[in-house]
Structure 1
Amino acid sequence: MKYGICTLALVPLRLEQAHRSEMVSQVLFGELFEILDEQPDWTSIRLLETDYLGWIQNGQFQKLEGSDKEQYFLGRRTVVGREGGVLLDETTQLQLCHGTTLYLNEENRINLPLLDLTYQGSINLFSKELVESELQQLALSYKDVPYLWGGRSEWGIDCSGFSQLIYSCFGLYLPRDAYQQAEKGETVDFISEIKVGDLAFFDNAQGRITHVGIMLDRDTIIHASAKVRVDRMDSEGIFNAELNRYTHKLRIVKRYN
């Protein structure tokens, strides 16, 4: 197998090998992937953490040789905190977004010879034991971040990218898309039993799950729809007070921790 590592802060992952193709997700600095197919301008990849597939433009990553992949993961796993951080060398200053995962050596350098960069910045210190006490504040810090189809960062995010990112900060790792996330976890049977951090899923007229949000309490949800916003939710779904109507029909609520 051939592997690669993303070497820019945030790059598109396309459905097909063209700039005009749909951006299905994004790849963050330091994410590793399996190389499936190499073309002159694009490479087909499978992200190792989520098994997500897509095309990345050549020049936005580096190939890993020999034991580089194993060596990289021997480093200290470090997640960039909410205030962000930078990777530095004599000529480079690469701004990283919240949630970026790095593997660093004892000198806070990327644990790969081909990327001799030092990390400076905030570090995420949350764990799954802190979901109930810390998740609400972290999720609310994303309020008004613009919606971006395929987005995974504070610079633009979609609904499942939002739940995936927030959960990852607590050491809870979800698949990429809403329907995939809905296949995991334990079902919460009653609205009255909802706790902070539970995920609510919503379906379309065909019964396909197309939306997800994070519950802040039993009747308040934060989700990405035009922007990251806070709305009321009940057994029918999400009620948008600005539009004075329900915008999403509730399908199921799941718990993961």
Structure 2
Amino acid sequence: MTMLDRRLHAYRPDLAEAGLEGKVEASRFVEGAAARVALPVAALRPEPDLARGIDTELLLGEDVTVFDRADGWCWVKAASDGYVGYLKAEALSQAGPAPTHIVTVQRTFLYPEPELRKPHRAILSMGSRVHVAGEAEVRGNHYVVLTDGTAIFARHVQPIGALDGADYVGIAARFLETPYLWGGRSGLGIDCSGLIQLAMLMVGRPAPRDTDMQAAGLGEPIDRSEIRRGDLVFWKGHVAIFEDPQTILHANGHSMTVARENFDAAVERIGSLYQRPTGYRRPFS
């Protein structure tokens, strides 16, 4: 049988997704059931164990397919990028009305009603998806109201289909000084490849989740002499965005933030520990 990337293919000796029948060995194959992330941020882990580090995060309103539920954990595959892993069961709810809007600011507050003086109920990251059922205005402030009566400041969301064509580098720059978090993919904490994926998501461009996936198949390879705004540079296990030919933006473990850095200085600093860049890519023309 073919060895497949377990990050992107759901298979175990006892169970596998139906599409892998004939490709992997498993006791049974299932189609899975639809579910939706119900928490602001949900950690996806390689094993059902809170002691394991997170592989990535899923945001409120993202869809998943659930293949198994056991001992308070769900084994799932994310609809957005195909990533497979384990979520705590309380992170999911049944898929209800499809999300209509997406959060477009780095972070925003979810209020129990359209009133900014009320204690907020949650903090939502850019990329969170919600179903808007109505609108309200209170003292000149405009809110969108969700199906459960909670509310978000209206200028902090847009209809999901209205994002194509924006500058993803500018979106990435909104995350400057956001804390670095291994596996993070939100405005509360983010890693290098998560920054790329989330910024591209916000302009309607799908991107793989991990650095090696991005280095292997995101856009086309280019030479250093061709670099322009929006191109990517890869090291082994790291990626950064060119803001201009001499400046990069990246979530990194040196500053432990999303930072802006001179490219040549970064090459020298990173090279002393992790060698030189392995390649450059243009994600889209």
Q: TM-score interval w.r.t. the shorter chain?
A: 0.7 to 0.9
Bigger radius of gyration, 1 or 2?
Answer: 2
**1:239 equivalenced with 2:271 (yes/no):** no
Tell me how far 1:249 sits from its aligned partner.
Answer: 2.1
5+ residue gaps, structure 2, are: 1-31, 136-143
Distance 1:49 1:244 in 2: 33
Equivalent residue, structure 1, for 2:21: none
**1:24 equivalenced with 2:55 (yes/no):** yes
Query: Larger % of strand: which?
Result: 1
Distance 1:92 1:237 in 2: 40
Over 3 Å counting, the alpha-carbon distance change for 1:192 and 1:244 in structure 2 is closer
Equivalent residue, structure 1, for 2:174: 141
Letter in 2 for 1:38: R
Over 3 Å counting, the alpha-carbon distance change for 1:20 and 1:185 in structure 2 is closer
Tell me how far 1:174 sits from its aligned partner.
Answer: 0.7
Over 3 Å counting, the alpha-carbon distance change for 1:44 and 1:155 in structure 2 is same
Distance 2:206 2:146 in 1: 22
Distance 1:59 1:43 in 2: 9
Identical pairs, percent: 24
- Is the contact between residue 25 and residue 150 of structure 1 (CA under 8 Å) also seen in structure 2? yes
- Is the contact between residue 188 and residue 253 of structure 1 (CA under 8 Å) also seen in structure 2? yes
Equivalent residue, structure 1, for 2:124: 96
TM-score normalised over the length of structure 2: 0.71
Equivalent residue, structure 2, for 1:206: none
- Is the contact between residue 107 and residue 187 of structure 2 (CA under 8 Å) also seen in structure 1? no
Letter in 2 for 1:101: R
**1:193 equivalenced with 2:226 (yes/no):** yes
Name the SS of the counterpart of 1:130 in structure 2: coil
**1:3 equivalenced with 2:13 (yes/no):** no
Deviations 1:192-243 (A, max 9, x none): 321211121112xxxxxx1111111112111111222222335x97233xx8
From 193, 202, 205, the equivalent of 1:160 is 193
Equivalent residue, structure 2, for 1:129: 165
Tell me how far 1:34 sits from its aligned partner.
Answer: 0.4
Letter in 2 for 1:230: R
Equivalent residue, structure 1, for 2:77: 46
- Is the contact between residue 232 and residue 239 of structure 1 (CA under 8 Å) also seen in structure 2? no
Q: Structure 1 stretch 146-155 or stretch 42-51: which is displaced more?
A: 146-155
Tell me how far 1:4 sits from its aligned partner.
Answer: 1.4
Distance 1:6 1:29 in 2: 5
- Is the contact between residue 237 and residue 246 of structure 1 (CA under 8 Å) also seen in structure 2? no
Question: How many pairs does the alignment contain?
Answer: 235
Deviations 1:61-96 (A, max 9, x none): 2133xxx4xx41xx5343332352425459972221
CA RMSD of aligned residues (A): 2.9
From 224, 232, 248, the equivalent of 1:221 is 248
Tell me how far 1:246 sits from its aligned partner.
Answer: 7.0
Tell me how far 1:109 sits from its aligned partner.
Answer: 4.8
Distance 1:16 1:22 in 2: 9
Distance 1:22 1:190 in 2: 35
- Is the contact between residue 46 and residue 53 of structure 1 (CA under 8 Å) also seen in structure 2? yes
- Is the contact between residue 185 and residue 254 of structure 1 (CA under 8 Å) also seen in structure 2? yes
Name the SS of the counterpart of 1:59 in structure 2: helix
Distance 1:77 1:5 in 2: 15
Name the SS of the counterpart of 1:176 in structure 2: coil
Name the SS of the counterpart of 2:102 in structure 1: strand
Distance 2:197 2:223 in 1: 23
Letter in 2 for 1:11: A
Distance 1:150 1:196 in 2: 25
TM-score normalised over the length of structure 1: 0.78
5+ residue gaps, structure 1, are: 204-209
Letter in 2 for 1:27: L
Name the SS of the counterpart of 2:248 in structure 1: strand
Name the SS of the counterpart of 2:65 in structure 1: strand
- Is the contact between residue 238 and residue 247 of structure 1 (CA under 8 Å) also seen in structure 2? no
Distance 1:60 1:128 in 2: 29
Equivalent residue, structure 1, for 2:86: 55
